[in-house]
Each structure stands twice: as C-alpha cells, then as structure tokens.
Chains A and B, each alone.
Chain A
Amino acid sequence: MAQLLDEIEWGEPILPTTADPAWEAEVRRRVGRVGEIDKRVAANRWVRQACVDVTSLRPSQIPPRLFNIALLVTAQENSCRYCYGAIRASMKISGYSEAFIRQIERDADLAGLDARDRAFTEFCRNLARARPRPAKQAFENLVQLGFPNAMATEIAFAIAMGCFYNRIGVLTACPPERGFERFANGPLGRAIGTVAPLVRPLTTLRWRATPPATQPTAELVSGPFGRVVATLTELPPAAQMMKAALDGAFDSPVLSHAVKALMFAVVGRSLDCSYSEGEARRLLESDCLESAEVDSAISSLTSTRLSAEESRLLPWVRDTVHYQTAPIQNRTRAIAAELGGSMALEAIGVAALANATVRLAMLLQ
C-alpha cells in the first residue's frame, strides 16, 4: 500500500557527503541549489550527472500539472521520503492546494479528476509499482485515451527517471530537505503558494508542447540498452539523458562490467522483461561469460566470476525492485560497510538505473 509522507520509515544517511566546489557550482548553475542528494552522489561522475539531469528535467510534451502529479505519485509509490517531501513542498509553493495534493496521494479516484487524468494517474502508479508489471498494452491504452505518442512516452520516461531518483534517495537514505519543506509550509511559502495560482494561467499559456523531434537512431541504439533509448527519439533531451546515464554506468571502472550487466539481468528477470535480460546477456558476451554461466549466475544470484563483494550485489539488487524502506536501507547499509563508499555509491546508481531502464523496457513488450 502506498504510504503517506509521515508513515515512511527513514534511516540515518548511508553515504557521507562529498565536498566538490567545482561540481557544486555547476549544480547551482543548472538547478539553482545543491540538494542533499547532490552532495551524497558527488563522488561518482555518472551518478551525479544523472541526478542533476533528472532534477533539471523540464517536460516538453506533458503540461506541468500532469508532470508534477506523475512525480508525486511515483515518489509515493517508491516510498522515497526525500523525493516525496521535496515534490510536495515544491507543489505547495507552486500553488497546488493541500487538499488537492492530499487527494492525489490518498486516492486518485477521490481526487475529482476526470477519466483521462485518472487513467494517467493509474498508469503512473502501475508503472512505478510494477506489481503486476505493466506491458505495452498499458502504454497503448494511454495513447487511446488521447495522449499523443510523444506525450505518453514522456510520461513513461518521467516515471522511469522518478524511479531512478527515488531509489537513489531511498538507497542512500538521503536526509529530507526539511528546510525547504518548512519554508513551503511556512508563512512565506504559503504566501507564494497563494499568489502562484494567479500566475499559473500565464505560465500554462506560455507552456506549449514543443513539436516532437527525432535524432539519428543509429547513434542512440549503439550503446547498452539501445532499444530503450531509441524509444525516446521524439524527445532528444530525454534520449540523451538516458544514453549518457547508461553509457556512463557501463563505462565506469568502479564496479566490474560483468556485475553491472548481471544486476540489469536480475532486475529484468524480476520484472519478467525478456528484452532487458537478453540485452544484459549480450553485454555479458564482452566479459566472455558463457550462456550457461549467465544462467547459473541469474538463477543462483551469485557467480564465481565476481569478487566476494560484488557477489553480494545480485541478491541485493533483486530486492531493490519491490521493497520496504527500512529493510532495504538496513541491507544497503550492510553492503556499503562491506564494499566501501565508492563501490556502494556506484552499486546504488546501477540498481536505480536498472530499475528505471527495465521499467521503460517493459513497455516495449
């Protein structure tokens, strides 16, 4: 059952903050402020880049209102106290009433939404939850309800990247942005929230879905999970973001290439996504793993090709697909103690990215 903000159990931070003034300046330039998550992922180049890419993501096809609802519902489904609190606060200072937010988070059916919005919210919850895993049909239903293909794709991408960011938050047990939450609920935040609805029609008027574009597909499909990236060709910034994260993850030398591909395979198997498992197997060919070895590794969740530390990541990544916050944070803490900060950070990034990628890939089938 999706939990409300105050019901989420949240442990002490698992990863320390890393000071990197140059990177922090870059984050400030792109998103205005350095968040708690940015400080905790700063030690890993691709993870920190992916996190900033997600926070600076601006929808080009979905109206801001639906985008906010998608992020709220996804954070709630993933029980990410950090993201849930931050999105809630952000919505409040954007002028969304407490009643509206509460209706969305408590039950979409009671939220006074029309059929189209309800179907949209349900799609968000189902894809984020993946229990049972949605299939291509769910995506097609969204298109049939009048969401153009590019818009439906952007919705799926926003949820997938929400799943990525939520897992970074959960698996690092990132401390919530309490200052920002207090501000949003304080007098100044409430004042801004009161004025915001007056300004919102102007911003909504200014918002126009930009025409979908296309990028050369050959370039996009060349890297890991290229078919998933290729589905985003109508949304060039999204495609670039996804490709950069996937290329960055698989090029990084912190964890072995084999364990990363196996982690994707395990998430793929968990969510019954044959494309993801197949693609992971293709990537494992470059590690000279025979098919029988891959079978054995996936079904036993261990492999003699991996170090003892890396072997621990396979059963752990399986538990990042569906989890309860306190137990998964406890397990991640134990793994971080054994692996050390830099390997643990990359493992968290890979687990988060695998969950995002496979959720998008599920819609291919």
Chain B
Amino acid sequence: MSGLAATAVAVGSIALAGAYLALRRFRQLDRLLADSKSQLEHLQRQFERFVPGDVVEQLTDQHAAFRPQRLRATMLFADLRDFTALCDHLDASLTVTMLNGYFERMSQAIADHHGHLTEVVGDGLLALFGAVEPNPWQGRDAVLAALAMRAALSEYNAQLRVRALPELRFGIGIHSGEVVCGVMGAGELCKFGVTGDPINVASRVEGLTREHGVDLLITEEIRRMLEDGFRLRPMPPSHVKGKVDAVQTYYVEGLEPLTAERQASRRTGAEPVTGRETG
C-alpha cells in the first residue's frame, strides 16, 4: 500500500514538474512573441514616417498585398519660390531647419484636411486626396488644405521675421483626375505613389502660379467639385507642356460665408452650380 502511495506521489511530482516546466516554457514563448510583436509594431510606426499609414497597414496585412488601383484622386503640388537661390546664402543647418519647419506645418495642414503627404522632393511636396482611401470630398478638402497651408505659411513667416530670417513664398497647383496608384519602384527603392496624366497637369498648374503671379491655382475639374463659399478668380487660359488645349485655371482668393440668398439663386440656376468667380 505504502509502495503504491509512494508511486502515486512520484508520478504526481513528475506530472507537476512537467506542468511547471511546460508553463515556464509557454511563458517564455509568450514573452518572446510579445517582444517580437512590439518590435514589429515599432517598425511599422517608423515605416509610417515614409509611407501613408493606411498603405503600411495594407502592406503589413498578411492577407492582402497593396493592389494597384485606378481611381480618381486629387493632387496638390506645392513648391517654394526661389528657395534654391536662398540656400546659397544660408548656413546649411539653418536651411534644413527652416525647411523642416515649413514641411512640418504644411504636413499638419494637409493631414487636418484628410490629405496624405506622399512625396517631398527638395523644397517641393506632393499631397494626395482620395488616393489612399475613398474620399467623396477630395476636391474641397484639397482646396481647404491649401488655404490652411497659406495661413500656416503666413504664421511661419512671422516667426522667421522675428528671427531676422528670410521669408518663404510658395506656389500651389491642384488638379483632379483618374490615376493609377500603387507601390512603385525597383528592388529596395520602392514608394507609394500615383502615376498618370493628371499628375503632370497638377505639376504644370503649380508652375503656372509664377506666370500668373499668384500662390494658389486650381483647374476647372476642381472648380466643379467646389460648392459656394470659395472666392475664385478665373485666370487667362494657358498652354502647358504636354497638353494641346489651353488649361483654364482659377486663383483661389479665399473663403466667404455661405448666404441664404446665394443658396436660393443657385437652386433657380441663376449662376454656376459650383464655385464662385470674382473679378
């Protein structure tokens, strides 16, 4: 009987020890898994500094690769005026500090209006609206973002003035159209981006801001997407590289309060359905 009890105790002890070791091993594996996961999450966050977060999410999703798509998107190009010449006279670290301060403010204005800062080349930037996720208000968002960028630049210039630094000026061009978006590049040098004729037009329209001496131009496609409340001034149609027909652009002066009278007149078709032209 005592032998049986001793065997039972021995078997029990072995079982307990086995369970303890298994539990310890399980906890080790669990910790390992948690650490790996934390590292992956950290990597994902770092990655999001270079590529829109939603794209990272799709790229890291094990079930779905980011599929190239053809969709309607709105492109906003912004470029600093005469910044290259300015760089020649400024200290290198000061140049980078000024530029980073500028991009930080522009990036915030874009994100606040549902846009994604997709590319920064030198002192220029490209923001996309409706390319990463569907956005039925993309044209409106892009123009509001541009107006916020204008306000942010004005505020930034006030700070630069105080520090006796040269002020910055920019030109913005906005256009919308069907583009192909996806992760493009070769080998290790890939990026999320869009391609198609509308992106060239947006870039050319940004270039037209110099010709017209204004800071913010939109195309007819964008004007059609706007409701009342935007003060627009038509510019003379201009020929741009790669387009046979002249491109009609509008200078965006700013916003104005929506009035009941205007709503009423619009319902009767007394004036254009979208946007308001001045001048």
Measured CB to CB, the residues of A under 8 A from B are 1, 99, 102-103, 106-107, 109-110, 122, 131-132, 269-270, 272, 290, 292-293, 296, 299-302, 304, 318, 322
B133-A131 in contact (CB<8A) = yes
| Residues of B close to A293: CB separation below 8 A | 263, 267
| Residues of B close to A322: CB separation below 8 A | 133
| Residues of A close to B26: CB separation below 8 A | 99
Residue of B54, B225, B227, B263 near A131 (CB, 8 A) is B54
- For the A-B complex, the count of residue pairs with Cβ-Cβ distances under 8 Å equals 54
B258-A300 in contact (CB<8A) = yes
Among B33-41, B120-128, B238-246, the one that faces the other chain is B33-41
| Residues of A close to B267: CB separation below 8 A | 290, 292-293
| Cα–Cα, bound, A103→B37 (Å) | 10
Q: B130 CB to closest chain A CB, in angstroms?
A: 12
Q: Does B136 lie at the interface of the complex (its beta carbon under 8 Å from any beta carbon of A)?
A: yes
| Residues of B close to A300: CB separation below 8 A | 140, 227-229, 258
Given contacts A99-B26, A302-B258, A304-B258, 16 further A-B contacts (CB under 8 A): A1-B44, A1-B53, A102-B34, A106-B34, A106-B37, A131-B133, A132-B134, A269-B136, A290-B267, A292-B267, A299-B225, A301-B137, A301-B140, A302-B229, A304-B263, A322-B133
A296-B263 in contact (CB<8A) = yes
B63-A122 in contact (CB<8A) = yes
State which size class the interface on B falls in: 20 to 34
Question: B-side binding surface: helix, strand, loop or mixed?
Answer: helix
The 6 tightest CB contacts between A and B, nearest first, are A300-B227, A304-B260, A304-B263, A106-B37, A99-B30, A269-B136
Q: A262 CB to closest chain B CB, in angstroms?
A: 14
Q: B259 CB to closest chain A CB, in angstroms?
A: 8
Q: A240 CB to closest chain B CB, in angstroms?
A: 33
| Residues of A close to B62: CB separation below 8 A | 109
| Residues of B close to A304: CB separation below 8 A | 258-260, 263
Q: B3 CB to closest chain A CB, in angstroms?
A: 33
B137-A299 in contact (CB<8A) = yes
Q: Which residue of B lies closest to A102 (CB)?
A: B34
Residue of A99, A110, A132, A270 near B136 (CB, 8 A) is A270
| Residues of A close to B45: CB separation below 8 A | 1
| Contact mask for chain B residues 207-231; partner A; CB cutoff 8 A; 1 contact, 0 none | 0000000000000000001011100
| Residues of B close to A103: CB separation below 8 A | 33
| Cα–Cα, bound, A161→B53 (Å) | 27
| Cα–Cα, bound, A299→B274 (Å) | 10
| Residues of A close to B57: CB separation below 8 A | 1
Q: Does B191 lie at the interface of the complex (its beta carbon under 8 Å from any beta carbon of A)?
A: no
Please list 29 pairs of residues, one from A and one from B, whose beta carbons are closer than 8 Å in the complex, sorted by A's number: A1-B41, A1-B44, A1-B45, A1-B53, A99-B30, A102-B30, A106-B34, A106-B37, A107-B37, A109-B62, A110-B37, A122-B63, A131-B54, A131-B133, A132-B134, A269-B136, A272-B134, A296-B227, A296-B266, A299-B136, A299-B227, A300-B227, A300-B228, A300-B258, A301-B137, A302-B258, A304-B258, A304-B260, A322-B133
| Residues of A close to B30: CB separation below 8 A | 99, 102
| Residues of A close to B266: CB separation below 8 A | 292, 296
Which one of A1, A106, A122 has the highest number of Cβ atoms from chain B below 10 Å of its Cβ?
Answer: A1
Q: B260 CB to closest chain A CB, in angstroms?
A: 5
| Residues of A close to B41: CB separation below 8 A | 1
| Cα–Cα, bound, A270→B134 (Å) | 8
| Residues of B close to A270: CB separation below 8 A | 136
| Cα–Cα, bound, A110→B33 (Å) | 9
Q: Which residue of A lies closest to B263 (CB)?
A: A304
| Residues of B close to A109: CB separation below 8 A | 62
| Contact mask for chain B residues 1-40; partner A; CB cutoff 8 A; 1 contact, 0 none | 0000000000000000000000000100010011001000
Which one of B44, B56, B137 has the highest number of Cβ atoms from chain A below 10 Å of its Cβ?
Answer: B137
Q: Which residue of B lies closest to A302 (CB)?
A: B258
Q: A191 CB to closest chain B CB, in angstroms?
A: 18
